[in-house]
Amino acid sequence: MRLRDVLSVLSKSSPYAVKTDRETALSDELDKVKDYLYIETDMESDFRSHLQSLAIGKKKIIYLCGSSGDGKSEILTRYRKNFDNIAHFHLDATHSFSPKETAIERLNKLFSDYENGDKSLVIGINIGMLGNYAEEGDYENAKIAISSYLKSSRETEGHVFIDFEKYPKFKLESHRYTSDFTEKLLKRITSTDNNIIRQYYDKELQHHDADLNLCVNYYLLSLPSIQRIVVELLFKARLMKDQFLTARGLLDFVYHLFTGPGYLFDNIFTCQDNEIVSKIADFDPALRRTKLIDQFVLSQKLGIDDPDFDEFRFSLNLKNFDLHKLNSPESNIRFFYIIQNEELGNNYHKKFKADFSDDLLDRYATIWRLHKMPKETDNKAELRPFYRDILMAAISKYVNKNAPQLGKEDFLIASRGRYLVTAHLDIKPDNAAIKRESENGIENVSHFLAFLKVNGKALKPIPININLLELLLRIVQGYQPNKHDKNAVVLLDELLDKLYEIASKEKTLFIISDQQRFNLNDVEGNGSELEVSGG
């Protein structure tokens, strides 16, 4: 068995991709690899605690909720044998045991048996099927419990929901973003300490026909600095492309990094067959348009001599792997990107490091932390530039894009020829709400909630993801949104609709034309008597 065979357990096409109740091993050696790679998560620890509580408490139904590929069947199979005396396990609620029976009918039978029996019930189920059962199922107690959980995350007595989504794959900590499961997996695969995969890697190097591309990729991914970059790319895909990370998807992604057609730094950006890579492809450093990168690509394509680069290229000798024959300028840029934190040769690659920095990601992370971790700093003062110079400034520019002469407090409601109808809105950060949000303990990294008060009244919280933040920053710089900003603009327009509603109900409106300004006052507050002043 060779290294490529051993790594095949990571592939989504592998028989090891979905855990089943196999009585015999497909391969003793591959079973050992699979067992070695297994990593217990916080979610599994909580699940085990609930199972253990069944032995001393009343029977209950435990729903292990997630999406396809999360690893529900892996966890359920792992605990089934030890707890089948006190609980019945149903590994996948999207299936029944008979072609004449639907998944809903099977769940009806399971709930009926549970009600009439003395065992608890443990079900692996995805969120979609939960919703289907709440609509179409027959067992009323389960329907009520499921509906309550889906609507408000509230649990009903006797029903426990353990949801993968409540255990986020990424976290924003004090000074960095992390993915505990991903980081543990990469370290486990490449560890030098009692690692069965590392043993096959060492053996592969000794073969006369060693798979050198595979070995290069394994070596590169064993470098902590490159693992860190992989985590960052996955984090960006989650934030900017809404790419969810399942256990199966992550394993297949790592398998592709190792076994794709090229070196790791090309595999991570250039394959459209892998779902995660297809999203990461948009972050390809070779697509960046900076002066330095463009000059390098152009000079390489024109064959212009670069003695410093030649010295760097011919000195490359990573673990006895010769990489100096990288002829594509784009491949070289990708290589510079993934090794940006490594010391190599004359460090020619480090001159591009500034071009690879992601200010948007860092800025988003900083603002997110300030909303979530106020005790670390004076968040009121630190957040002021975001609210004043980004959120409120972008709102003003976007609303008044057709009337840039208006002041910051002027809110354009309508324009009729040379006449503008405006209202004054006093928009400020809602510091009390920001403080309350920071104390609620919810840490969804996909967005943060911004809080504003308009004329002293609190607005509904505003969810801001990284794409909306990018749009706000660009609007402040003079950019006008277009059809390509569709998703982010929808979020901004929802906020503006509420502001328009408030502005249109103001008792005083202003009609502005050239040098003239009229005040239109609603004396009675119901539109029955209007008073005009100014001129």
| Partners of 123 in beta bridges | 63, 90
DSSP 70-128: SSHHHHHHHHHHHHTTTEEEES-TT--SSTTS-HHHHHHHHHHHHHHSSSEEEEEEEHH
- Separation of alpha carbons 311 and 27, rounded Å: 47
Task: Output the six-digit token pair for 351.
Answer: 């001159």
Q: What is the predicted pLDDT for the residue at 174?
A: 66
CB 231 within 8 A of CB 182: yes
Give yes or no: residues 125 and 248 share one domain: no
CB atoms within 10 A of CB 438: 18
Give yes or no: residues 302 and 405 share one domain: no
CB 466 within 8 A of CB 241: no
In a domain, 2, yes or no: no
CB 123 within 8 A of CB 93: yes
CATH code of the domain in which 131 resides: 3.40.50
Reading across the β-sheet that carries 516-522, which strands appear in turn? 410-416, 419-424, 508-513, 516-522, 530-534
In a domain, 87, yes or no: yes
Rounded to 5 degrees, φ, ψ at 14 are -75, 145
DSSP state of 390: I
Give yes or no: residues 263 and 331 share one domain: yes
- Separation of alpha carbons 39 and 43, rounded Å: 11
How many residues can be counted in the chain?
A: 535
Question: To the nearest 10°, the Cα dihedral for 107, 112, 117, 120?
Answer: 40
Residue where one domain finishes, among candidates 144, 166, 188: 166
| Partners of 321 in beta bridges | 318
DSSP state of 386: I
Task: Output the six-digit token pair for 148.
Answer: 């309550």
End-to-end Cα separation, the chain, in angstroms: 90
Q: Report CA Rg, the chain.
A: 29
Distance of CA 305 to the CA centre of its chain: 42
Give yes or no: residues 179 and 244 share one domain: yes
Q: What is the predicted pLDDT for the residue at 189?
A: 97
Task: Output the six-digit token pair for 406.
Answer: 């208006």
Give yes or no: residues 336 and 400 share one domain: no
In a domain, 30, yes or no: no
Task: Output the six-digit token pair for 37.
Answer: 């790679």
Task: Output the six-digit token pair for 157.
Answer: 């007595």
- Separation of alpha carbons 391 and 452, rounded Å: 10
Dihedral sign for Cα atoms in the order 433, 435, 440, 446:
positive
In a domain, 444, yes or no: yes
- Separation of alpha carbons 74 and 7, rounded Å: 19
Q: What is the predicted pLDDT for the residue at 333?
A: 96
Residue where one domain finishes, among candidates 120, 136, 166: 166
Q: Which residue has the tokens 């499961």?
A: 181
Q: What is the predicted pLDDT for the residue at 288?
A: 94
Q: What is the predicted pLDDT for the residue at 60?
A: 94
Q: Where are the alpha helices (DSSP H) in 153-274?
A: 180-190, 196-206, 212-221, 224-241, 247-259, 264-270
In a domain, 421, yes or no: yes
Of 197, 203, 237, 201, nearest to 219 by C-alpha is 201
Give yes or no: residues 341 and 395 share one domain: no
In a domain, 318, yes or no: yes
CB 349 within 8 A of CB 365: no
In a domain, 143, yes or no: yes
Q: What is the predicted pLDDT for the residue at 516?
A: 76
Residue where one domain finishes, among candidates 300, 332, 356: 356
Range of the domain at 329: 171-356
Give yes or no: residues 374 and 506 share one domain: yes
Helix axes 180-190, 212-221, angle to 10 degrees: 130
Give yes or no: residues 334 and 458 share one domain: no
Q: What is the pTM of this model?
A: 0.86
Helix axes 127-136, 140-152, angle to 10 degrees: 130
E strand or H helix that includes residue 415: strand 410-416
Q: What is the predicted pLDDT for the residue at 332?
A: 93
In a domain, 77, yes or no: yes
Give yes or no: residues 328 and 421 share one domain: no
Helix (H, G, I), strand (E, B) or coil at 57: coil
- Separation of alpha carbons 280 and 229, rounded Å: 12
Give yes or no: residues 426 and 517 share one domain: yes
Give yes or no: residues 133 and 216 share one domain: no
Q: What is the mean pLDDT of each run of 10 residues along the chain (535 residues)?
A: 93 72 65 90 93 86 89 90 92 75 91 93 93 94 94 91 90 80 95 94 93 94 96 94 88 95 93 88 94 95 92 77 77 95 93 93 90 64 91 92 82 85 90 83 83 92 94 92 81 90 85 77 53 55
Q: What is the predicted pLDDT for the residue at 173?
A: 74
- Separation of alpha carbons 190 and 182, rounded Å: 12
- How many domains are contained in the chain? 3
Give yes or no: residues 184 and 122 share one domain: no
HSE at residue 218, side-chain half, CA atoms within 13 A, is 26
- Separation of alpha carbons 7 and 197, rounded Å: 8
Collect contacts of 221-225 with beta carbons under 8 A, ≥24 apart: 221/186, 221/189, 221/190, 221/254, 221/257, 221/258, 221/264, 222/190, 223/339, 223/342, 225/339, 225/340, 225/341, 225/342
Q: What is the predicted pLDDT for the residue at 20?
A: 55
